[in-house]
Amino acid sequence: MSMPFYVSPEQLMKDRADYARKGISRGRGLVVVQFTDGLLFVSENTSPSLHKVSEIYDRIAFAAVGRYNEFENLRIAGVRLADMRGYSYDRRDVTGRGLANAYAQTLGTIFSSGGEKPYEVEIFVAEVGNRPDEDQVYRLTYDGSVADVQGFAVMGGTVERVNEYLKSHYTEGLDLAAALRLAVDALGNDGTEPRTITGDKLEVAVLDRTRSQPRKFRRLSEQRIADIVDSASPTEPVPASPETGSGESGSAGSGSAEPQSADPAAESAEAPAHPAQEPAEAQSADPAAEPAEARSTDPAAGESGEPTDPADVLGEPPDDNDASRDG
């Protein structure tokens, strides 16, 4: 009788962990960020129907990375468990902590079992509270480990780079727009060179505590995402108004070779208000020989008879413009 091939338990667990980690890292990252009105989930996902973020119950959301068929089975099991518990007891008895414990037991059993491969998934179970300090986010890994995270968290893809970016840029009290831009920038800094992620490649959902409905989960539309993400891009300068002319002073930075002063007092000093104040050599010896229109007595006019109003000299100021795997 031949002896079976022996592998130490330590080596077996290490091989299974490496296998699961490699499968998860092939997918794209997912970020959860806490903001003033709830919890924000942002992920790169080009599919309009295969969601990585979903609703579990009234105030509870589920997010995952890895193999789609595996975490979809976990999501369905969580929905059934929550519905059964809420129907049998009370809706308030369905909590994020209870679901996280159930998921941890399932993932831990599958990982320790030698009969099947470990699940290549990592998941978030999040519950929004009535106040920011009551929000709960649990991160579960392939081996059933549970971690309670605060502020922000990331999983999938190159976790280290995205996590470092969030650590250096995250602050408490962000609104929805600021939190979304932070999450998108963090996902774009997952490599050696930053990249721009457009709204059509993002899946965004929130648990919004300010909603009047019992169900706090909602998805952001593609147009809403694009409006928030594009507003962070720098605006292009507006060309000078045609009333200011192309070769004269106009607005600041217009490229004029001889910009005029913006100080009205300086304009008055350069353009004397009365011919009597001009230098003697600049005045005509015979006042009668001067044309009538050249001897302007209007105190608001300079040597050329044009007004020295600063609005006429500077022109109108320019306006500012506002910008199989999960894949």
- Identify the DSSP state of 91: G
pLDDT tens for 285-305 read 454 444 444 444 444 444 444
Identify the burial level of 307 via C-beta atoms within 10 angstroms of its C-beta, where 0-12 means exposed, 13-18 middle and 19 or more buried.
middle
Whole-number pLDDT of residue 247: 39
Whole-number pLDDT of residue 113: 85
> Does residue 313 surpass a pLDDT of 70?
no
* Mean pLDDT, the chain, integer: 78
Mean pLDDT confidence for 257-270: 45
pLDDT tens for 163-187 read 999 999 999 999 999 999 999 999 9
DSSP sequence for 255-310: --SSPPPS-HHHHHHHS-SSGGGS-GGGS-S-GGGS-TTTS---TTB-TTS-B--H
> Does residue 267 surpass a pLDDT of 60?
no
Rounded distance, CA 136 to CA 32, Å?
A: 11
Identify the burial level of 1 via C-beta atoms within 10 angstroms of its C-beta, where 0-12 means exposed, 13-18 middle and 19 or more buried.
exposed
pTM over 0.85: no
pLDDT tens for 54-90 read 999 999 999 999 999 999 999 999 999 999 999 999 9
Sheet containing strand 202-208, edge to edge, reads 152-155, 30-35, 38-44, 202-208, 217-219
Considering 206-220, 287-301, 308-322, the range whose residues carry the highest mean pLDDT is: 206-220
DSSP sequence for 1-19: -PPPP---HHHHHHHHHHH
Whole-number pLDDT of residue 136: 96
